[in-house]
Structures are given as C-alpha cells and as structure tokens.
C-alpha cells in the first residue's frame, strides 16, 4: 500500500502546516491588518479574500495570531516571543 500523498492532495489538504513561503508572506498580511483592522486581507495559501485574523497576543511577552480561511480551510497560529520586560517594570 502506498501511503505517500500525491502533490495535488497535499496542496489541497487543509490540515497541512503552512509552508515557509506562506509563513513568510503572512506577516505582510498581518501587518496590513494591524494598520487597518477593517480591511479585508487575502489568504497567503489560496488568495481567498477574507482571511480571519484573531489577535491572541499576551503583550509584552508575545504576539500570537490565530488565522483561518473559509476558502481553503487554513487553521493556523503564529507566535513571536517578544522577550521579557525590564526588571522592576517601566521606569
């Protein structure tokens, strides 16, 4: 039995992780959304307009975004550690 997925099946499988190119590209989409949360942003995987972006960040420790797309079924989260705040708090 051949368990390898065809390239077509892999390309359309909604549960697959984002590729390096998609993950790199999505930061431009998130940046545009952060600048104007009322705009519609396209999906980095299928270009469907209306990428769902939910900011789940725990600032000042991390930026965390949940992404979803009705067009291709993308469900993904992205995380950026921001580092620790200065000892003793803001001065």
Residue 48 located in a structural domain? yes
Residue 55 located in a structural domain? yes
Which range marks the domain in which residue 47 is found? 18-81
- Residue 3 pLDDT > 60: no
Residue 73 located in a structural domain? yes
Predicted TM-score (pTM) of the model is 0.69
pLDDT digits (tens, 9 = 90+) for 35-79: 999 999 999 989 999 999 999 988 878 889 999 999 888 888 888
Number of other residues whose CB lies within 10 A of the CB of residue 88: 6
Residue 34 zone, left/alpha/beta (φ > 0; ψ -120 to 50; rest)? alpha
- Residue 85 pLDDT > 80: no
Residue 91 located in a structural domain? no
Rounded Cα distance between 73 and 46, Å, is: 10
CA nearest to 69, candidates 52, 85, 91: 52
Query: Which range has the worst mean pLDDT, 11-20, 22-31, 43-52, 61-70?
Result: 11-20
Task: Count the domains in the chain.
Answer: 1
Residue 86 located in a structural domain? no
């Amino acid at each position: 039995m051949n368990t390898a997925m065809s390239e077509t099946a892999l390309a359309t499988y909604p549960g697959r992780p984002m590729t390096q190119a998609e993950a790199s590209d999505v930061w431009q989409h998130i940046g545009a959304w952060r600048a104007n949360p009322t705009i519609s942003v396209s999906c980095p995987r299928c270009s469907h307009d209306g990428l769902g972006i939910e900011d789940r960040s725990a600032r000042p420790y991390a930026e965390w975004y949940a992404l979803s797309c009705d067009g291709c079924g993308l469900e993904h989260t992205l995380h950026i550690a921001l580092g620790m705040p200065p000892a003793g708090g803001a001065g």
